Amino acid sequence: FPTIMELHHKKHHNTYVTALNAAEQAYAKASTPKERIALQAALRFNGGGRINLTGHINHSLFWKNLAPAASEKKGNGGVLKDGPLKNAIVESFGTFDNFKKEFNTTTAGIQGSGWGWLVRPSRDRGLNPTTKRLEITTTSNQDPLLSHVPVIGVDIWEHAF
């Protein structure tokens, strides 16, 4: 039996990619403004939210965050090694456990589908650019993260287990 992550990657994420590719091909072949307007909903939904971005941006970032579980002796997933990320998390949240608690509390507030993000403020945008600390934020549905630089993204709805 495939794992929940294999199913999510091969079915759910693949559906976004396939549907976006089909919508983009249809858009390229559309010869009238009316035909192009009719395709906008498919491009938006599969494209990741209110603007036309590639449909799988959030999921592609999500897959980069994953590693085989250390608890299953298959990798180092779930183990935060010493280094710049760990240092930034501890500086921003006090401890790694505090970060996990705050992340879980923040993302538990998502109703329905959404994403939880560990972010750093960008140079010109961000909730708290003066602190230079990592922050936790959320986005609804498949909306892309535009206001910050993502460090970690978690698909909350399908993976809130």
Q: Which residues are annotated as a binding site for Mn(2+)?
A: 8, 59, 155, 159
Give the helix/strand (H/E) hosting 148.
strand 148-155
Q: Where are the alpha helices (DSSP H) in 55-126?
A: 57-65, 84-93, 96-108
Query: Which residue matches tokens 């993000």?
Result: 117
Copy the structure tokens of residue 104: 């879980």
Distance (Å, rounded) from C-alpha 84 to C-alpha 58?
Answer: 23
Beta-strand runs (E) in the chain:
114-121, 135-140, 148-155
Distance (Å, rounded) from C-alpha 31 to C-alpha 18?
Answer: 22
Residue ranges of the annotated binding site are: 8, 59, 155, 159
Question: Helix or strand or coil: residue 53?
Answer: coil
